[in-house]
Amino acid sequence: MEKNRKYIVLTILVGMVAIAGYLNWSYNDTGNTAQVSENIGEATMVDSKKTEEKKETNKEDKDILLLSEAKSAKDKGRSKAMELLNNVLENEKSDSNAKENALSELTAMANNMEAEGVIEGILKTKGYEKSVVFITDKVATVAVKTDKPLTGTDVAKIQDIVKSNGSVSGEKITITEVKD
């Protein structure tokens, strides 16, 4: 049973590291990739206003997509972890201690998921339209899409929302802004 528990913990940790790595990569991706024309030497007339509008739209779409992908990756990782924990609960060979641990981990995950949803909803009502919240083991990471840099007031507001709805202390909250 100890072996199963190690695999569960390892799987959860690997999933969390993968999500953190993906978020780090996606937030640091500057998008400086060159586009190659299919017909080399082909001239194209460009309207600078339309190009700027398209760039702004593409940048906003990319930011929204990144946050959506982060939420999706979070949900997939949690689903796999929950599946493993449910397997422990349903396995007749699991001892009662392993089942208790699996049940408590499932309960904690459910509570964290509920808190994340509540926090994301409150952030939306406070003007932060796009956000992703990760809560694990009394540690919270919040990614917020902003049009302008977050002020000290913004950070304090976000921290208060997380502290009151996620049962996380201020020093264990990380806020990352996804800029336009």
Domain containing 119: what range? 2-28+52-179
pLDDT at 57 over 70: no
What percentage of the chain carries pLDDT values higher than 90? 19
pLDDT at 80 over 80: yes
Could you tell me the CATH number of the domain that includes residue 83?
1.10.287.4300
Mean pLDDT of 6-30: 59
Asked if residue 37 belongs to a domain, the reply is no
Number of folded domains that form the chain: 1
**Greatest alpha-carbon span in the chain:** 72
Asked if residue 36 belongs to a domain, the reply is no
Asked if residue 120 belongs to a domain, the reply is yes
